[in-house]
Amino acid sequence: MDGIDDLDDLVKIEFDKLYSEFDNEQRKYINPQSIKNIIYYLIENPQINPKKNQKLQELGEIRMKKKLLEYFKALRNTELDMQSGYDLYVRYFMKIGEFMSEYYGFSGNGGKNFMTTVLIILTIGIIIDTTLFSLNLIYFPLFSILFFTLWITRRIIKYSSRRQYGLFY
């Protein structure tokens, strides 16, 4: 267990050092809140998912910690701006987010994806509502309101339980 504890400590220390190295403008490109949420569940509060293979989860957690360290190293070795932050996010962070989604119930709706998701949800709701309205099956925008309400509720739950990650979040 010492190796795992050392890896846990190393990830926390490296993140703290990395966070202190950048100014406020550059910090948003390292996805600080996403990393804090992931560290909280991956290191400070790990939980075994009863619906998944425990050994695979444990091995995946070690791989994700190492992936975080690789991400930190890549951030240090890059001139950080919006484009390079995006490229590093795609190259490193999306794999970590996918793992956290699968085993810890994370949602990738943090950060800049907010408006895109709202537009998609409302567009789908409006299309369904318009179709049903034209067939005289409904008289008010039921599905737009329903989809939006469900999305907002889910987002509030994920936000309050710190299970979100996202680009520049």
In a domain, 165, yes or no: no
Which pLDDT score, from 0 to 100, does residue 106 have?
Answer: 72
45 and 28 share a domain? yes
The predicted-structure confidence for 8-35, as pLDDT tens digits, reads as follows 778 778 877 877 777 777 777 777 777 7
86 exposed, middle or buried (CB, 10 Å; 0-12, 13-18, 19+)? Answer: middle
pTM summary value: 0.62
In a domain, 46, yes or no: yes
- How much is the mean pLDDT over the chain? 76
Structure tokens at 169: 């979040």
Q: Which domain holds residue 135?
A: 113-156
102 and 138 share a domain? no
42 and 97 share a domain? yes
Q: What is the mean pLDDT of residues 128-141?
A: 83
In a domain, 86, yes or no: yes
Dihedral (CA of 89, 94, 99, 101) sign: positive
- Number of domains forming the structure of the chain: 2
In a domain, 81, yes or no: yes
Which pLDDT score, from 0 to 100, does residue 21 have?
Answer: 79
Q: What is the mean pLDDT of residues 81-100?
A: 79
84 and 27 share a domain? yes
In a domain, 41, yes or no: yes
117 and 97 share a domain? no
CA–CA distance, 148 with 12 (Å, rounded to integer) = 37
Rg of the chain over CA atoms, in angstroms?
19
CA–CA distance, 25 with 34 (Å, rounded to integer) = 16
The predicted-structure confidence for 54-90, as pLDDT tens digits, reads as follows 788 778 778 888 888 888 888 788 777 777 778 877 8
